[in-house]
A and B are shown apart, each in its own frame.
Chain A
Amino acid sequence: MKGPTGGTASAVAGRWVNHRRQAEPTGKNGMNLPLIDVIWRVRGQLPLDAPMAADEAFARLDPLFQTPGTTYGINDDTLTYTKRNPAAQDRLATFTRGSLQIDQSAQGTVLRYDLSSTALLLCLLAPLLFLAFAQLAVAANAWEKSGAEASETARQDQDKPKAVGKLNPIDAFLGAPAPADLNKRNDKNQKDGRHSPKPGYVLAGLFFVIYLVGRWLEPWLIRRQFRAALSSALPVEQSYTKVR
């Protein structure tokens, strides 16, 4: 039986790549919540076109793990990895923990993967934060309203007539609209309060949409990445690319 092998990416020197510890497979010693972990976990299998030994498959996938912040280990037919704060262009940036297994069955060689994403989980929780901000805006409006009613001076300031601005002759000649009379302005925000909860609601919805897109897009992209790496002898490009 072959002993465990592995390594730590050292492409870029710095304090953020020098943590070497054996990665643990997701689901074995990590959190195992089968009903809700579909939120942040992605499991799948990829049948390979031709039979391939585990060593060769992992060699082809190796560039994915030769990136800053990555720790990985190989034990027989299973590769486990963790990525600590991966770079923006790291192909596995969304999935920061996971295990890959090469399974030799009667049907041929199959790559089974079980990946975990903190980013997906946080993205689904983000709407709660922005809903809380929206409620904070509502509460601040209510608090200000009670304060404004008590303050007589504030009301007097508002009642003071404001001078109507004049347009410069050059602007009048060029046809710019005359300035609005601020005394006739019907300011809806004054009634509803100056803090709008609307951005909070919009952002909560936006993050839910971003989550749904990510939950579909990221598994599709990583599957495509695995397929490309395993069907090509060339390493996956991680370097800086040509200048356009």
Chain B
Amino acid sequence: MAAVQVGKRMIGADAPVTVGWDNIGRVEGGPIKQFIFTYFQPAVLFGLILFWYYAPNAIAVASTGLMIGLGFKALLLILEWVNPRYDSWRLTWKEFATDVFYVGLGYTILRMVDSYIGDGAMIEAVQGALDWDKFAWFTGLPLLLQALLISMMFDFGQYWMHRGMHNWHPLWLVHAPHHYITQLNVNKGAVGNPVELFLIGLGIGGFFDFLPRAFLLAGVFGMAVSTYQHINVRFNTPAWWRFVFNTTEHHSVHHSQDYEATRSNYAGTWIIWDRIFGTCIDGEAERLGMEGGRRMDIRETMVFPFVEGYKSAKAALAKRVGRSASSAPQLEPAE
């Protein structure tokens, strides 16, 4: 298979990946469709920033954000139906029902557990231990600057956690089920082993006792940028947007069946973190997943880290015991 060299890496040796922006698909259709799918993303982002900046205190609350988030996802489901990126990623009834199950876990049992042992508990503990008056310099900054810093710091934490997941076996075991998704749809971000959600949620941005409005503004970047990671919609995304922000294109490369391509584009919102740390690959891919595109069912997703972890630990133990048993020097092949 023809591979393309990106830096020191060969991308696309295992599975097809389109590298660079030159051969990326464009929106097909009349001028109205072209207009909508070119300006939709920036219009939503700036519209939401204006909303959260000027909304009265009674409206600028987390529950409003939750409702806007749900409405936005419903709108994106319609866009997936109207203008899909790939027909091979079409949402089916079974895929939708499966995705909603994972989303449902996040809104119910995982949220509860998280408040006791996850980042909810950690934020509470740190806030109780520190003198937050010392951070008045931060909460006195302009709102948009606060929001930008919160979003970028949180994403910085997520970048390194995600990169760690791809480079350290125990963390990879909890992240691997998410890489068995074979197509991108609005709710696919929630598909994975629940343990992963605790780890990926542990960003450092949450430790600031910021103004609620700045937090809500920071959430706009998560909603109006990060949501597009897992989505089957073809956009003519502006060049400035894909230079700064993560896109479906970037994330499809990250999920491709090509091993080297998966070790790229780790950021959730700000792809510039990948550009800075040398892991960005511009491009897109259609064939996604692991083991040639094997779909992982819910049962296996839930037990995968534990089953595979047990196997790995057993193998490592057997290797160590075997090594100590045969302590005599071994012959080594000549150079």
Contacts and interface: CB of A to CB of B under 8 A. Distances in A.
A87 B293 contact: yes
Contacts of A89: 88, 90, 92, 183
Interface string B177-188: 000001100000
Interface stretch (B140-148, B161-169, B222-230, B321-329): B140-148
A197 B129 CA distance: 31
B282 interface: no
A87 B295 contact: yes
A136 B109 contact: yes
B38 to A, nearest CB: 15
B100 interface: yes
A89 B183 CA distance: 9
B92 A88 contact: yes
Contact of B57 (A136, A180, A207): A180
Contacts of A176: 53-54, 143, 213
Nearest to A167: B143
Interface string A72-83: 000000000000
A195 interface: yes
Contacts of A87: 182, 293, 295
Interface in B168-201: 182-183
Contact of A210 (B54, B96, B140, B141): B96
Interface string B19-63: 000000101100000000000000000000000011111001000
Contacts of A217: 93
B92 A179 contact: no
A12 B98 CA distance: 23
Given A119-B94, A179-B211, A242 B87 contact: yes
A195 to B, nearest CB: 5
B45 to A, nearest CB: 18
B286 interface: yes
B101 interface: yes
B56 A177 contact: yes
B142 A170 contact: yes
Interface string B199-220: 0000000000001110000000
Interface size class of A (residues with CB under 8 A): 35 or more
Given A94-B94, A136-B112, A217-B93, A88 B295 contact: yes
A237 to B, nearest CB: 9
A25 interface: no
Nearest to A239: B88
Contacts of A68: 293-294
Contacts of B111: 195, 199
Contacts of A210: 93, 96-97, 100
Interface in A73-124: 85-89, 93-94, 119, 123
B54 A177 contact: yes
B82 to A, nearest CB: 12
Nearest to A170: B142
B28 A244 contact: yes
Interface in A174-202: 174-177, 179-180, 194-195, 199-200
Contact of A171 (B83, B142, B234, B294): B142
Interface string A193-219: 011000110010011001001100110
Nearest to A179: B211
A48 B221 CA distance: 55
Nearest to A11: B292
Contacts of A134: 108
A163 interface: yes
Given A119-B94, A214-B93, A240-B287, A165 B297 contact: no
Nearest to A89: B88
Given A123-B97, A136-B112, A210-B97, A244 B294 contact: no
A241 interface: yes
A218 B212 CA distance: 45
Contacts of A194: 115
10 contacts: A15-B291, A85-B296, A93-B94, A171-B142, A176-B213, A194-B115, A218-B93, A244-B27, A244-B83, A244-B234
Given A87-B182, A140-B112, A176-B213, 17 more contacts: A12-B293, A14-B291, A68-B294, A88-B95, A94-B93, A119-B98, A157-B128, A177-B57, A177-B213, A179-B57, A203-B104, A206-B104, A210-B93, A210-B97, A243-B286, A244-B27, A244-B87
